[in-house]
């Protein structure tokens, strides 16, 4: 991604942030599989710092925190989204940052939860993102990556009544598995599901991958 594209995504989420939080913050209550997988992630990473990358209003970070991963932080490209996350989740630290250059030291995180964090990342930039995740995870650290299944992209210039400038990307599960393996990850589990009801989420198939940095 170039600077113009990154700025477009940042400014779009700044404009969307309040409506995004209103619509999305409580979504996990209606997503049993997502909760089950986050519970599993929290159990496996409870001994160290975990980061909710692309945290939005912080609902995934909060869920993981309340599920037992007590050292939790969140990262988002949008400053306004980070403000909202801090307001809604005062027990958790959030910061502004770019997943193309994660603001963490090498081998410093026990886990990364990236729930749809790559939805606005073109395939050409994914190796950088995955490489950064691998770099900051400690040996034995766990990545839980969720994304929309497909092979296309969608340009959006309006969402929920707000002007935006973003592409949304859908990925083939096997392509993401190959990308993670090429970065050095060991793939532990891959789960796919059909969409929940239209009132719960966008009607796309979803994938979840548990990938570990070898010990």
Q: What is the pLDDT of residues 85-125, one digit of tens each?
A: 999 999 999 999 999 999 999 999 999 999 999 999 999 99
Domain range annotation of the chain: 3-212
Strand ranges, E, within 30-185: 50-53, 72-76, 93-96, 109-115, 137-148, 153-159, 162-169
User: Hey, what are 133's tokens?
Assistant: 């995740």
- Give 104's contacts (C-beta < 8 A, 6+ positions apart): 51, 136
DSSP 37: H
Architecture of domain 3-212: 3-Layer(aba) Sandwich (3.40)
Round to whole Å and give the CA distance between 198 and 195: 8
- Answer yes or no: are the C-beta atoms of 77 and 10 closer than 8 Å: yes
Q: What pTM was estimated for this model as a whole?
A: 0.95
Rounded CA separation 98/89 (Å): 21
Question: Percent of the chain at pLDDT above 70?
Answer: 100
């Amino acid at each position: 991604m170039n600077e113009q594209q990154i700025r477009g995504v940042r400014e779009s989420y700044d404009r969307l942030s309040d409506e995004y939080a209103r619509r999305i913050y409580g979504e996990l209550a209606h997503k049993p599989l997502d909760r089950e997988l986050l519970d599993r992630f929290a159990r496996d990473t409870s001994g160290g710092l975990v980061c909710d990358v692309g945290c939005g209003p912080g609902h995934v970070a909060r869920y993981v925190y309340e599920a037992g991963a007590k050292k939790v932080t969140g990262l988002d490209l949008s400053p306004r989204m980070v403000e909202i996350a801090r307001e809604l989740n005062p027990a958790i630290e959030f910061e502004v940052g770019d997943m193309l250059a994660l603001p963490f030291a090498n081998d410093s995180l026990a886990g990364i939860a990236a729930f749809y964090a790559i939805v606005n990342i073109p395939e050409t930039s994914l190796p950088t993102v995955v490489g950064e995740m691998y770099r900051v995870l400690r040996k034995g650290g766990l990545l839980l990556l969720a994304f929309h299944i497909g092979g296309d992209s969608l340009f959006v210039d309006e969402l929920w009544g707000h002007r935006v400038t973003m592409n949304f990307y859908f990925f083939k599960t096997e392509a993401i598995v190959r990308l993670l393996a090429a970065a050095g990850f060991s793939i532990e589990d891959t789960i796919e599901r059909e969409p929940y009801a239209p009132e719960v989420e966008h009607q796309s198939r979803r994938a979840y991958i548990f990938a570990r940095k070898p010990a």
